[in-house]
Amino acid sequence: MNLDLLTVDAARSAVQERKTSATALAESFYAKIESDDPKIGAFLTLSKERAMAKAAQMDALAAKGENLPPLGGVPVGIKDVMVTKGVRTTAGSKILGNYVPPYDCTAVAWLEAAGAVVLGKLNCDEFAMGSSNENSAWKLVHNPRDLTRVPGGSSGGSAAAVASDMAVAALGSDTGGSIRQPASFCGVIGMVPTYGRVSRYGLIAFASSLDHIGPLTKTVKDAAIVLRTIAGRDPMDSTSADVPVPDYVAELEKPVRGLRIGVAKEYLGEGLDKEVRSAIEAAIQKLAKQGCEIVDVSLPHTRYAIPTYYIVATAEASSNLARFDGVRYGYRAKDARTLSEMYRRSRDQGFGAEVKRRIMLGTYALSAGYYDAYYLKAQRVRTLLTRDFEEAFNKVDAIAAPVSPTAAFKLGEKVDDPLAMYLADIYTVTADLAGIPGISVPCGETKNKLPIGLQILGRHFDESTILRVAQASEKAVTSGKGECP
């Protein structure tokens, strides 16, 4: 079977109609991973036993002529920050190098319950901290569109695996743009749902109030199918919301005509690459052609988003990562003579430079005497940023924006300049801070054939609208006609 551009529905139908088996499909994917992944670097751990068991289960259902669940037999990959029972989970870190969790992340469990075949765990920046995947303790991920370039991060392995057809779909996590930016760099769909929409249970925490799990897929419809599967109230996560989950796939059928799309000048100003800007503007024009009304909006506090984000995120991270102390699991330094020596050495040797940098920043921000000036102030600005969006959404149904100021940059280009790397998160951190949903959908290419992503942001719990807008944009690009779907 040709795995190129294989979608969720196509894969499921092939198994359902017994054109292939889930087992054969999984085997084809593993063969492709074996041949292609050495030059990409997307997978960290393969879960063949688990995948083949699920595939066999789906084949048995299909053989009996029973209806397969929505993801029946569909091969997927999971970012290595989601725990998987019995399958090594490292979060891209040496400190969890040999860690095998005893339980499953809710989103993974629900995906598998819907028939998905989990091929393995995907590379990422260590503890999801990074925008290029270069902070993985294990290996680099190469952008499938240009192997000399980064795939984006932190869900770089997830985006690269989907972009290179080594998985039909993948789960990633987004704390400051970690799903949308790699999706944009690799030319796939990436979606961050509303905070509380998808359970965080089993997601190794980076910054609890900002962490989201979401899908990376080849089509908007696939994103809708995966989101429908993993969304909903989970009693194991107190912050998961008890808000009804619509049928996102059915919602895609609604027209976009008449929707008001906001364009914020703060997202199209200085620092935005010219090629990216013209692709975004062209994509917005295509939406207008389909009957969307384009409305100017203002998000005045955007310029404070980066410092706000890096205070809140690092503060929470400094606490979340305290548990990696070498006492109960994970890496423990050898030959420490005292307790504090064991702590210091285990963490010094176990964590990479970026993680240590963020722990230091966050510890500082929470320290006595600095808490009010940094953490508390950042939380207040966060409220202002959220209010910016609330006011904008009084006027519009969705906001169109770039995902990243540039297309994928060269591997190694920014590794020595963490600040430049942080600043490039400007268009994505705002949605995480406000807890609103966002999606990245390919809208064009640079002259070097690098993908450019259009970002659509929406109201809290209104994933349906941004999926619709994203699909309209997707159709305009793929058909080139800009007709109303």
Q: Both tokens of residue 142?
A: 């190469």
CA proximity to 262, closest of 292, 300, 283:
292
137 binds other proteins (CB under 8 A): no
473 part of the active site: no
Binder of other proteins out of 53, 236, 353, 419 (CB under 8 A):
236
Binder of other proteins out of 64, 274, 328, 447 (CB under 8 A):
328
235 binds other proteins (CB under 8 A): yes
Complex with other proteins: residue 234 or 425, whichever CB lies closer: 234
Q: Which stretch binds other proteins (CB under 8 A): 140-148, 316-324, 381-389, 455-463?
A: 316-324
Mapped onto helix, strand or coil, the DSSP state of residue 143 is: strand
154 part of the active site: yes
Binder of other proteins out of 92, 202, 262, 444 (CB under 8 A):
202
Window 207-226: contact mask with other proteins (x via CB under 8 A): xxx-----------------
Q: Which residues, 172 to 201, sit near other proteins by CB under 8 A? A: 200-201
Q: Is residue 205 a contact partner of residue 453, using CB atoms and an 8 Å limit?
A: no
Binder of other proteins out of 325, 354, 397, 425 (CB under 8 A):
325
327 binds other proteins (CB under 8 A): yes
H/E segment holding residue 215: strand 212-217
Does residue 154 have a cis peptide bond before it, meaning omega lies within 30 degrees of 0? yes
Residues with Cβ < 8 Å from 295, sequence gap 6 or more?
Answer: 260, 261, 262, 263, 395, 396
Residue among 154, 184, 199, 440 flagged as catalytic: 154
Assign residue 177 a region (left: φ > 0; alpha: ψ between -120 and 50; beta: otherwise): left
Complex with other proteins: residue 126 or 316, whichever CB lies closer: 316
Q: Tell me the site size for other proteins, rule CB under 8 A.
A: 44
Q: Which stretch binds other proteins (CB under 8 A): 285-293, 324-332, 401-409, 470-478?
A: 324-332
CB of 364 to other proteins, least distance (A): 10
Query: What's the distance, CA 117 to chain centroid?
Result: 19
CB of 228 to other proteins, least distance (A): 23
Q: Give the DSSP per-residue string, 334-387.
A: TT--SHHHHHHHHHHHHS-HHHHHHHHHHHHHHSTTTTIIIIIHHHHHHHHHHH
Rounded distance, CA 62 to CA 66, Å? Answer: 6
Cα-atom radius of gyration of the chain, to the nearest Å? Answer: 21
CB of 262 to other proteins, least distance (A): 29
Binder of other proteins out of 239, 386, 406, 446 (CB under 8 A):
239
Window 345-384: contact mask with other proteins (x via CB under 8 A): ------------------x--xxx--x---x---------
H/E segment holding residue 268: none
CB of 173 to other proteins, least distance (A): 11
343 binds other proteins (CB under 8 A): yes
Q: Which parts of 64-151 fold into alpha helices (H)?
A: 106-113
Q: Both tokens of residue 319?
A: 């606490």
Q: Which stretch binds other proteins (CB under 8 A): 142-150, 233-241, 439-447, 471-479?
A: 233-241
Window 58-97: contact mask with other proteins (x via CB under 8 A): ------------------------xx-----x-x----x-
For the sheet with 75-79, list strands across it: 43-46, 117-122, 75-79, 169-174, 212-217, 189-192, 438-445, 451-458, 398-402, 260-264, 293-297
Binder of other proteins out of 24, 99, 243, 260 (CB under 8 A):
99
Complex with other proteins: residue 86 or 291, whichever CB lies closer: 86
Q: Both tokens of residue 222?
A: 């696939």
367 part of the active site: no
Q: Both tokens of residue 175?
A: 């704390």
Q: Is residue 132 a contact partner of residue 409, using CB atoms and an 8 Å limit?
A: yes
The residues assigned a catalytic role are: 79, 154, 178
Q: For binding to other proteins (CB under 8 A), which residues are involved?
A: 82-83, 89, 91, 96, 99, 101-103, 105, 200-205, 207-209, 235-239, 315-316, 318-319, 321-325, 327-329, 339, 343, 363, 366-368, 371, 375
